[in-house]
Amino acid sequence: MRTWLKNLRLSKNLTQEKLAEMVGVHTSMINKIELGNRTPSVKTAKDIADVLGFDWILFFEKSRHTA
């Protein structure tokens, strides 16, 4: 589970639906990414990171996947 991602999204007062709309993916994709069931493509990772304001590489750092 990517608790860090959910917490960051919530700190920006964004719903999964709104983040999905801003990034251009389906809400279920955001849900799966937050749950750790899906690893985003590089493009999607960059888009999410741009919206939430973090380094997209965090998606691919093993230690962050369970944080």
Q: Which domain holds residue 34?
A: 3-64
Nearest of 4, 25, 41, 27 to residue 52 by alpha carbon = 4
* Position 67 confidence tier, pLDDT thresholds 50, 70, 90: very low
3-class secondary structure, 39: coil
Q: Which pLDDT belongs to residue 64?
A: 53
> Residue 27 belongs to a domain with what CATH number?
1.10.260.40
pLDDT tens per residue across span 4-52: 999 999 999 999 999 999 999 999 999 999 999 999 999 999 999 999 9
Helix, strand, or coil (residue 15):
coil
Neighbours of 46 (CB within 10 A): 16
Q: How many domains does the chain have?
A: 1
Q: What is the pTM of this model?
A: 0.87
